[in-house]
Amino acid sequence: MRRRNFLFADTHDTAQNAAMIYSLFASCRKHQVNPQDWLLDILRKMNDPNYGGRFSDLLPNCWKLNQ
């Protein structure tokens, strides 16, 4: 039942945002990364003005290599 509800979004933008989030979590699963740890870490780094790395390094496949 839950999956059926996710098929419907109010707007096209909402559907695209949901698809991006689902894709990132699927990438976490593929690379055997804990999504909760990954999300907490990247949110901290993205909000840190002193973060000197590239944002592409925060994707799940690169993030696992840096841990």
Please, are residues 33 and 63 in contact by the beta-carbon 8 Å criterion? Answer: yes
pLDDT digit string (tens) for 34-66? 999 999 999 999 888 888 888 888 999 998 777
- Cα–Cα distances in angstroms (integers) from residue 21 to residues 37, 42, 52, in the given order: 15, 14, 24
- Cα–Cα distances in angstroms (integers) from residue 58 to residues 9, 10, 13, 33, 34, in the given order: 27, 29, 23, 12, 13
pLDDT digit string (tens) for 2-41? 556 566 777 888 888 888 888 999 999 999 999 999 999 9
Token duo for residue 29:
């699963």
pTM: 0.73
DSSP state of 57: G
